[in-house]
Amino acid sequence: MSSPCQAPIPWDVLVEYWARETFLEELDALELHLLSCEACSASSARIAAITETFAGMVPPVIDAAKLANLRNRGLRILENPVRRDERREVFFPRDVDILLHRLRGLDLRDTRAVQIRVLREGTGNTLLDIGDVPFDRDQGEILVACQRHFSEFPHDVIFEVLAEQRSGAVERVHYPVPHRFPS
């Protein structure tokens, strides 16, 4: 049985370490302590399990930098370009990690903010409402990253984009994209 730690690392310091939010000045000493202290190492592992899970999560709407990061991590990405008001049924293959919908045909040059709602086509019910999403002003597109676990949701989806202009006007565009998943 190991002896109790004489100088336990505070919980908030371990969270900061795993969240990589700031550079800890005593990083070498902290890591050395973690290697030699069973109690602190166990606490660190519990925090790491949470922070690493969150770090690996992919938000439903991403920007070009996040897309490049996902590709660099080796995720298998299938792109689905969709034009405004186009109905485009899509199949999510088993060997794909991210089904990336490129919502195109928007004039975003004078846009202040973009919100996306995921609606159920059959009922009009809102499945997901995401405010202040990233968008590419120059390309006039929004990147929606569908993931395999979304197969638990209804498949008859419409991406509703609400683009708020600097003038205060709101442009509403629909992208019906029913999904099919392998059985």
pLDDT of residue 31: 85
Backbone torsion region of residue 164, taken as left when φ is above 0, otherwise alpha when ψ lies between -120 and 50, otherwise beta: beta
Q: Where are the alpha helices (DSSP H) in the chain?
A: 11-19, 27-36, 38-56, 64-72
pLDDT at residue 52 greater than cutoff 90: no
What CATH architecture is 61-180? Answer: Sandwich (2.60)
pLDDT of residue 148: 83
Ranking 77-86, 97-106, 143-152 by mean pLDDT, the lowest is 143-152
All CATH 2.60.40 domain ranges of the chain, comma separated, are 61-180
Q: Are 177 and 80 in contact (CB under 8 A)?
A: yes
pLDDT category at 80 given cuts 50, 70, 90 is very high
Strand order in the sheet with 111-120: 126-130, 111-120, 157-165, 170-176
What is the distance between the alpha carbons of residues 21 and 14, in angstroms, rounded to a whole number? 11
Q: What is the pTM of this model?
A: 0.74
